[in-house]
Amino acid sequence: MKILIVLAHPEPKSFNYAMYLTAIKTLKENGHEVKTTNLYAINFNPVYDRSNFTTVKNPDFLKLQIEEIHAAEMNNSYVAETKIEQEKVEWCDLMIWQFPLWRFAPPAILKGWTDRIFTSGRFFKDGGYYENGTLRGKKALLSVTTGSPAKTYTKDGYHGDIYGVLRPVNRGILECVGFSVLEPEVNYSVAHLTDEDRKTVLKKWSNRLKNIFNENKINVGKY
């Protein structure tokens, strides 16, 4: 199968990076094709403006959705950086995002990536959303680390249920464009893990990935 792994962490020595490398190694060893996007390493520009396009529909007023549809009509007239990422998303059977949870959200560089890549006219077209989305049949998985412990991310916890925290991404971005969302891989309070703990987590992650295509989607809407 074909897997795209998107990493959004600036530190190569981080636990997120270790999770990322473990995923690459495990999936390749199990016969899968893997493509990657290391957002900080490629200095991806998360700002979404006219610079995303090589054509212009209306030079007097920027409405991004109109420019997106125009770009699709003009043979996907996006800048090379955007087209490369769009093609990776269309190529994959499974997309994994590896990122730390910052202020209840992915890093801005990852959100900016979605703004620029998941565009109208290419990924949103003919009224296709959710079950009718253009990327239906593909799976997506969030692999997330947190600074706070697991007990703070329960329904009665200090931060609230982790599924509720992740729902805007799982439902509003991934399912909205057609992905079937798998159970998130959440590792809590990673800065406080011992070396032995980290080895255990990485082994658990590797074991899960060996059978990842046997997993069914979760019901994001119930959380």
Please give the Cα distance from 188 to 151 (Å, whole number): 9
Please give the Cα distance from 35 to 28 (Å, whole number): 10
CB 40 within 8 A of CB 98: no
CB 101 within 8 A of CB 145: yes
SS3 32: coil
Give the start-end residues of each E strand in 16-138.
Answer: 33-38, 94-100
Give the start-end residues of each E strand in the chain.
Answer: 2-7, 33-38, 94-100, 139-145, 180-181, 185-187
For 206, the token pair is 């590797």
Active-site residue set = 147, 153, 159
For 136, the token pair is 């239906």
